[in-house]
Chains A and B, each alone.
Chain A
Amino acid sequence: MAVIQAKYDAAETLIAARSLPGGAAWAVEARNSALANLRQMGVPHRRDEYWKYTNPASLIAAEAPKADVFETSETRPFEVLDRLRLVFIDGVFDPEQSDPLALEGVEIEPLSTALNADIHWASSVYGVLEANGQKPVARPLAALNTAQAVQGFAIRVTGKVARVISMIYLRSSVTADAMVHNVIKLEEGADLTLTENGPVAARANMVMEVEVARGGAFHHIRAQGRDHQRQAATHMFARLNAESSFKSFTLTVNGKLTRNEAVIEFTGNDAHATVAGACGGDGDFLHDDTVFITHDAVNCESRQVFKKVLRNGATGVFQGKILVQPDAQKTDGYQLSKALLLDDNSNFLAKPELEIYADDVACSHGSTCGEIDENSLFYLTSRGIPFACAQDMLTLAFLNEAIEEIEDPVIAEDIRDRLAAWMERRTG
C-alpha cells in the first residue's frame, strides 16, 4: 500500500507545483479532465509494468535535477533547411529569436492563445488524443502536461507546406523544468515537415498531439540535445485517418534519462505510420523508447525501427507494442529493435509485444542485441583502416538502418553527419 500511496502523494506535489492555467471553457475542461485522470492514476512508479526498466524517480521528483548547459560551437541540426524557426529558451517561447508566425498553408498560434479561443479543431485534439492514449497503458506525465502546459504551439495545416517548421529548444538555466505541448492538425491532403532539436531544459515534459486527416502527410524529425545530465519524458500521440501518413524519427545522443513514448492509432483505412530512432549512449545514460500502435482500421502499415549503440555502462530500453483490433484486417505491422553493445558494461532491455485479434494480418518483430562483428572489423582493418575508424564506420552502418527511415535525403545526411561528428569526438 505504501507504494501506491506514494504514487498519489507525488502526483499531488506535482499538481501543486504549478497553477492551473485558465482559458476557454473547452480548454479548462480538458485540463480538469486530465487532472482528474492523473489523480486516478498517480505518477509512474518503478513497480508499474511499463516502468520496470526505467526508474521514473527523477522525472517525478518535486524539483528538476540540475543539468549543466552543454556549450558547443558546432552548427545545430537542420540549419541547412529552408524553415520557419521557433525558438524556446528553457521551454519558454522566445519571439525575439524566432521568425514571425506566418507561413503559407499554416495557421500557427502560441498554445496559450489557442487555448483562450474557441477553436474547434484544437478542442477536438488538445487533451483528446492524450486521453485516448491513456488506455490500456497509463501515461501520467502526459496527463500532467495536458493539465498544466502553457508553452507550445497550435498548428493547423491546410495545404502542402513548402518550408519546414523548426522548433529549436535552447537552454540557459541549469535547473529549469520545462513543459511544452504542441497540438497539430493536418487537414485533408495537407503535408508538413516539423523538426525539433535541442535539449529543452534540465528536465522536460513534452507532449505532441497530431491528427492527420485523409490523405495528409506528417514528417517529424527530432534531434534531442547533447547535454549530458538533462532528463526528458516525451509523448507523441497520433491519430491517423484514411490514407494518411505519419513518419517520425528521433536522434538521441547523450542525456542522462530520456523516455520517448509514441502512441499511434489508425482510425482510417490504408494509412501508414513509421516511428524510428537512432540513439548513441555513453556512460551515465538511459534511453527508453516506448511505443504503442493500435490498428483499428483495414490495410494500414506500421513500422518501428529502433537502433541503439551503447557503451561505458549506458542502458537502452525498448518497449514496443502492436495491437491489432478484430476488424483491422490486412494489417502490416513491422517492429525492429536492435542494440549494439560496444563493451560488456552496457545493457539493452527489450520487450516487444504483439496482440492480434484479426486473422488476415502480417506482423513481424525482431529484437537483437550484439557486439560489433569481428569479421567485419578485421576486413576493414586488413585494408589499412585503423581500428577506431573501422569501429565508427560499422557503428554508423548499424544506425543507418534507422536513419534510412527518414524520407528527405538532405535531412538524413544531416543526421548522419551529426552521428559521425559525435563518434569522432568520442574517439578523439
Chain B
Amino acid sequence: MLSIKNLQVSLEEEDKQILKGVDLEIGAGEVHAIMGPNGSGKSTMSYVLSGKNGYVVTDGSATLNGVDLLDMEPDARAAAGLFLAFQYPVEIPGVGNMTFLRTAVNAQRKARGEAELTAGEFLKEVRAKAKSLKIDAEMLKRPVNVGFSGGEKKRNEILQMAMLSPKMCILDETDSGLDVDAMKLVAEGVNALRSEGRSFLVITHYQRLLDHIKPDVVHIMANGRIIKSGGPELALEVENNGYADILAEVA
C-alpha cells in the first residue's frame, strides 16, 4: 500500500533537515502506529506525504500502490486515496461543512472518472455516517470546524474520512485534546472503517489510543528516523518506561 524509502526532507525556509532517511512499508489492511518524542518528525512526515508547502524532499521516495506521491499536488494525492486526519483541523469561516464535504467528495470522484453524487445521494450518505459519529445536523450546517469543540473537530475529521473512503489513512495525533469518551467514539469510527483494502498510519503520543485502535506494527521515530519497530508491546514499553531506554539502546 504505502511504501516509503529513505525519505529525506528539509525545511524550505531554513537549512534544517527534519527527516533523515525514513523507511516504512505498510501493507494493505494493516494498521501501523508511530510513536516518538516531540520533534522527531512524525507530523512532518504526514505533511510531506499529503503535500503541504514548506518542505523540500532531498532524497528518497514515497509511493501509494506504486504511484509516486511526491510528484502530485495535494488534491491529486487525495484522489489517489491518501487521507490525512489533521492534528489541528482548520477552521474555515464562510464555508459550510456540507458544501465543503460535497465539493471534496465530488472533486475526488471526478478526478477518478467516477460519476458525481447527486445532492440527494450525498445527503443520504452523509446523514447516515454523521449519525454513527454522533454529529448532528446543526454541526453539518455550520462553517467548517468553526465553533466546534476539540472533540467535534476530530469527529468531523473521521466523518470526512468516512465520506471520502480513502485507501491510506494517516491519523496525526487524533487523540490529542480528546477526553476518554470522545477518544472511544473516534476510535470506533476508525475501527468501523478498517478493511482489507484500507491501511492506517496512526501517529500518537499515547498508548491509550492503541487500546482502542489495535495496531499490527508499532514504530518508534526519533531524530528523523524510524529507530525501532515491533508489535503492540512496543507501545506498552514506551508507556511504562518512556523513550530513554529505546534511544539508549539504539545509540
Contact = CB atoms under 8 A, between A and B. Distances in A.
Interface residues of B, number: 30
A378 B78 CA distance: 11
B53 A384 contact: no
A381 B94 contact: no
A377 to B, nearest CB: 9
A323 interface: no
B89 interface: yes
B84 A380 contact: no
Contacts of A380: 92, 95, 100, 104
Highest count of chain A CB atoms <10 Å: which of B73, B74, B99:
B74
A391 to B, nearest CB: 12
B74 A389 contact: no
Given A379-B86, A398-B94, A385 B107 contact: yes
Contacts of B77: 382
Contacts of A375: 90
Contact of B78 (A374, A383, A397, A400): A383
Contact of B103 (A378, A389, A398): A389
Interface string B9-44: 000000000000000000000000000000000000
Contacts of B108: 383-384
Binding site secondary structure of chain A: helix
Contacts, number: 80
B92 A381 contact: no
Contact of B94 (A383, A389, A390, A397): A397
A387 interface: yes
Contacts of A379: 86, 89-90, 92, 144
Nearest to A399: B94
B51 A374 contact: no
11 contacts: A381-B78, A382-B51, A382-B52, A383-B164, A384-B75, A384-B105, A385-B103, A389-B107, A390-B75, A393-B103, A397-B94
Interface of B: 50-53, 73-75, 77-79, 84, 86, 89-90, 92-95, 99-100, 103-105, 107-108, 111, 143-144, 160, 164
Interface of A: 373-376, 378-387, 389-390, 393-394, 396-398, 400-401
